[in-house]
Each structure stands twice: as structure tokens, then as C-alpha cells.
Amino acid sequence: MASGTSKGVNQKVNDEARPRSTEIFERGKKTLVGGVDSPVRAFRAVGGTPLVIDHARGTKLYDVDGREYLDYVCSWGALILGHAHPEVVAAVSDQAAKGTSYGMTSPLEIELGEMIVKAVPSIEMVRFVSSGTEAAMSAVRLARAFAGRDMVIKFEGCYHGHSDGFLSEAGSGLATLGIAACPGVPEAFASLTLNTPFNDLDGVEKLFKKHPNKIAAIIVEPVAANMGVVAPAPGFLEGLREITKREGALLIFDEVITGFRMAYGGAQQVYKIVPDLTVMGKIIGGGLPVAAYGGKREIMERVAPLGPVYQAGTLAGNPLAMRVGLAMLPKLQATGFYEELNRKTLRLAEGLRSALRETGVEGVVNGAGSLLTIFFAGNPIRDYTDAKKSDTARFGRFFQEMLRRGVFLPPSQYEALFVSAAHTDAEIDQTIAAARSSLGALANN
């Protein structure tokens, strides 16, 4: 079983070296679309056979061929404590014995809701759903109803799930596959979503002038993490808050990624901005399918059954997911939890920057909290236009070189790398060494 820099250097990741992965993936293509249930898993952007995972523990993934990988995907950020944390496993096991779904309210929903309301000051009421897509879609519907307007502003390269109104210039998987706008989305519906560059307040002002009294809300990732990681420029989020208040529109923070990752109170705690609505997911369910949206009481009371804005879900507030959230969130309140997590991430970012300089490979490392992205670009990355100038082919080669060395990065230039509390300093050093070797291989080709 290959692991680490020394053992993993000669690790092959081609079809011949991973026969079970190849066989299972080929078999899957006959019944699953593209052999996967989410497009970026297909490795189209980086080449090679996708990983087919047998099990995971701590910071490690183990594929069906018995190979070990140091994981920086962490279920796309959900596993801030690492894989199969003992308390999470115990919570799932105990709850499963009591029932996996009730179709009715349980105390667990109320307990986790109270914990979220206490953690995030902008949230006075919350509604649990099953996915980030569902949460973002529901928040925007609620904002439209509350404001009595139809249009919504989003930012190029920000991803808010795959509901119809968000699938233009959406970054993430669409950018990975080179899809600018998704077929099947009616033009009349898409026209209600207005795109403008991230970190550009002038663009926002122009849209409000062009569409007076028609824009219901702005939805934004406070730290963009679906065009790769791009932090907000100084004054950007503050400007959005000022503009929305002035124009009678709502400000929606999509904290599916940053919620409980940037800080216990999310990115809004870090940047000291109070949005009207917040969308959350990933960490609140610790790897189980759950998301939520919440905000001011006067807005949330418009949702059924209290108000006319309809939204429902058979598995909403699922007791398994609620139990995991209740097991997860108290661990994040430990003294120094985020400081230590961010310290390790900064150490990794600085190591990657050093490796780029030493090997002479052109690249930029963007980071925020425990998120980071290495862009193969010569320019600073401040928005989606900058991100799209990156050398995605070189990223694909870097990804494969790292995989050969036993390190699993997000299989797309436009996704974020996640550090978990389970990652050790030794593993960070191992990753930096693997990156230096991988970048050296790129420089020599």
C-alpha cells in the first residue's frame, strides 16, 4: 500500500496499475451517466482513471486497489474533522438504530437549529433542507417574495448550485467542463439572473441603475471558492451591504463552503458583515446530505407553513444528519481550533509558493482561512476572468504528478483545496515535498 512521498513516488495511477478502479468505473459508465453522480468526479479536466474509493479514515482515502492517498478534498470541504471521526461514527451508528428517517419533526432538528442560530448572529430562524442547491434556490425564492421583485445579481465564477437561475458563468463544475451556460435553462428565466464580476462594485452599481426597483437580492460567496479560492477585495462585501440597504434589496451570503469553516460564525463573522439571508451546508452535516437557509425572523416567517412561500422536503431535517451536526459543531468550539487549522493551511500555502519559486514554475497560490488554490497563472487572481487565464492543462499534469506521490488534490483548477483538523504538520511537510518534486517534473517537461 503506497503512502507518503517516499513510498508513493513510483505509484502508478494509470489503468494498468489500478485494474479494479478501471473495471468498476467502466462498469459504472453503463448505468451511471459518465460513470459518476457528480461531473467533477469523472476526472475529465485532469485525465486518467477516476478514483474509486473503498474506505477512508482520518486524512486518508483508500481506493479499491488498496492504494492510499493523503486527501485534500475532504468531501469538498464537509469533513473539517477528517474522515470517520470516532464521535461522528458513533452518532451515526446510534441514530441509525433509532431510525434513519421519520418524516416528522424530531428534537434533533430543534437542537441543531438552536446551535446554528446561536453561532451565526444574522440568523434568527432556520430551515433545513437536503442540499446546497436546494438551500440557495429556496433562499432566492424567499428573497424575491419578500422584496416583491424578480431579478437577482450573482457574480461570475460563483457557484450556488444547479438550479436554473444560477447556471450561467457559474464556475465550479461548469468551468471545469468548459460550459458557459447550461442548455435546458429557458432564456426567459436565465434573464432574471444578472452576472457581474466578483470584486467589482462598479458593476453592481451599474446593474441597479439599469434595472431600478427590479432587483430583489444579491447572492454571493463571501469568499469565492468555485473559481478557485478568491478572497473579497477590501471594501467589497461592505459595499454590497451598503448598496443593498440603499436599494431595498436583500443580501444573501452563500456560506455552503465558508460556513463553520472560516470561523464558527462563518465568513460573515470574519468580515463583520450581517447579511439578510445565509445559505449553509457541508460542515453542518459532517458528510451527510444536509443544508440550510436562515435569516431575519421577519423574512423567514414568509416561508410555509407560516407564510405563502412554499418549500418542503421528505428528508429535510433527517435525524442521521442532525445527529452528525450535533456531534460535529461542539468540536469546532474548542479553544484555538480555527487558529490551528488556519496555521496549518498557511504553512501549506507558503510551502507551495516556495516550491513554485524554487522550480521556476509560473503560479499563484490564493488562500483564505483553511481554503487554498494553486493557479498556474502569471497574474494575480481577483475574479473569474483572471482565473480563466490559468493553464488548466498544466494543472492537470500537476494533479497527476501529485497523485503519483500519494496526494489527492481537487481534480479541477477551479475547485478549492481543503485542510482538515486531522492533517498533521508532518503531512503538510509531506505535501510540500511532493509538490516540489511534482513541480520539478513539470519544469523539466
Count the neighbouring beta carbons within 10 Å of the beta carbon of residue 233.
14
375 within a domain of the structure (yes/no): no
- 51-73 pLDDT, tens digit each: 999 999 999 999 999 999 999 99
pLDDT at 166: 74
Q: Is residue 76 part of a domain?
A: no
Grid look-up 465564477 returns 157
113-131 pLDDT tens trace? 999 999 999 999 999 999 9
**Dist. CA 317–CA 92, nearest whole Å:** 14
Domain assignment present for residue 26? The answer is no
Domain assignment of residue 312, yes or no? yes
Strand order in the sheet with 371-375: 364-368, 371-375, 417-418
Q: What is the CATH number of the domain that holds 202?
A: 3.40.640.10
Alpha carbon distance 260, 100 (integer Å): 25
User: Which is catalytic among the residues 63, 282, 383, 386?
Assistant: 282
Cα distances (Å, whole numbers) of residue 256 to 98, 269, 407: 28, 15, 25
Which listed residue (159, 271, 384, 414) is catalytic? 159
DSSP-based three-state secondary structure for 220? strand
Residue 190 resides in a domain: yes
Mean pLDDT by 10 residues, the chain (445 residues): 36 63 91 88 88 96 96 97 96 96 95 98 97 95 97 93 69 48 71 93 97 98 96 98 98 98 97 98 94 98 96 93 96 97 98 98 97 96 95 96 97 96 98 97 86
CB within 8 A of 437, min separation 6: which ones?
Answer: 5, 9, 401, 405
**Residue 78 belongs to a domain:** no
- Which residues on neighbouring strands pair with residue 295, listed in sequence order? 125, 277
Residue 135: give the domain boundaries.
86-333
Residue 209 lies in a domain: yes
What nine digits make up the cell of 22?
478501471
Strand-pair partners of 277: 252, 295
Active site annotation includes 159: yes
- CA distance readout (Å), 386 to 96, 235, 247, 379, 439: 47, 20, 29, 7, 22
The total domain count for the chain is: 1
pLDDT at 61: 98
pTM listed for this prediction: 0.91
Residue-level pLDDT at 10:
37
- 280: nearest Cα among 245, 229, 339, 321: 321
Instruction: Specify the pLDDT at position 375.
Output: 97
Is residue 247 within 8 Å of residue 292, measured between CB atoms?
no
Check: CB of residue 263 under 8 Å from CB of residue 270: yes
Q: Is residue 349 part of a domain?
A: no
- Which residue among 65, 71, 200, 254 is the active-site one? 254
15 counts as catalytic: no
